[in-house]
Amino acid sequence: MADKSKLYESVDSSESRKALIKLIVVKTLCYLFLIFLTFMSFFFFYLLFINTTRSNNQLQDGGLVLIPSDSFFENLHNLFTSFRGEFNAVIGLKNSLIVALGSSLLTCYFSALTAYGIWAYDFKLKKAAEIFILAIMMIPSQLSSVGFYQIAIKYGFRNKLWLLIIPSIAAPATFFYMIQYLRSTVSKELIEASRMDGSNEFMTFNRIVLPIMKPALAVQFIFSFVGSWNNLYMPSLLLSNKDKKTLPIMINALSSTSWGSKDLGCIYMAIFLSIIPVVIVYIFLSRFIIKGVTAGSVKG
């Protein structure tokens, strides 16, 4: 308020009027720039949505159309029933959901558990353990993929979904976030109080610490879920069975150079179906997620 009134008072002098005009111009340019970038971010998804509403015939004709048509449900229906391609929506959704849910739940619980173990107790290897986890955080996942793939083949573990789920128990980055959260928000007196009140150590973790860590768990759950949901590299190596493929593998298989023979409406719908769960989650939790991005970045 104070700023504004000052602004009006000083409008009289030509100098400040100049400054004001300059500010307005700059502001307008900024908004134009922002709107342009927003357009860029959304335009392709908008096109995707439009194309899911158009029939194969309309799509095969080509051309840029910006108005939705009426074949959305037809495409959806066709995708689930008659679409003969690499994309099996029911199986893909199911497998993706199993892997993403399973691995993000394990990541959250065990990262919190490990972080709590290092934070709450004093033991000889405490510091060494933390430094080790920090160090392995930077190792690219590809380094293990060759050996992992080989072992999976050797022991007949290909096409087992649990093989994608179990390793997420050891998630260094999530661990790091959790231990920072513990350090900044939970008081050790709380743990001691719980001990005095009669809990054993696991009870203290499950009943006192986990509920307090809910915000951190939620953020990490979302990131881990999205990461797993979108992951192509490891699943594509391990899952070759038709009934075990996840959505990204199916999407990868869809890509082709000749589209003429395919039901394009269904393919657009398949893409739409793969991204829509995450978009819906994002619409509801965006504020939360963006906070998580910043919090996760304040490393070191």
Q: Considering only residues 7-46, where is the footprint of another protein by CB under 8 A?
A: 23, 26-27, 30-31, 33-34, 37-38, 40-42, 44-45
For position 297 contacting another protein by CB under 8 A, the verdict is yes
**Near another protein by CB under 8 A, which window of 10-18, 73-81, 97-105, 164-172?**
164-172
Number of residues that bind another protein (CB under 8 A): 116
Cα dist from 15 to 5, 11, 19, 21, 34, whole Å? 17, 8, 6, 10, 29
Write down the least CB distance from residue 125 to another protein, Å.
8
Out of 8, 198, 261, 284, which residue is the one contacting another protein (CB under 8 A)? 198
Nearer to another protein, 11 or 146 (CB): 146
Write down the least CB distance from residue 116 to another protein, Å.
6
For position 144 contacting another protein by CB under 8 A, the verdict is yes
For position 180 contacting another protein by CB under 8 A, the verdict is no
**Near another protein by CB under 8 A, which window of 8-16, 71-79, 97-105, 229-237?**
229-237
For position 205 contacting another protein by CB under 8 A, the verdict is yes
**Cα(221)–Cα(215) distance, integer angstroms:** 10
For position 226 contacting another protein by CB under 8 A, the verdict is yes
Out of 9, 25, 32, 197, which residue is the one contacting another protein (CB under 8 A)? 197
Under rule CB under 8 A, which residues in 233-292 are in contact with another protein? 233, 236-237, 247-248, 251-252, 254-257, 259-260, 264, 267-268, 271, 274-275, 278-279, 282, 286-287, 289-290
Residue with tokens 């999407």: 251
**Cα(145)–Cα(297) distance, integer angstroms:** 26
Per-residue binding string, another protein, 59-88, x by CB under 8 A, is: xxxxxxx-----------------------
Nearer to another protein, 105 or 226 (CB): 226
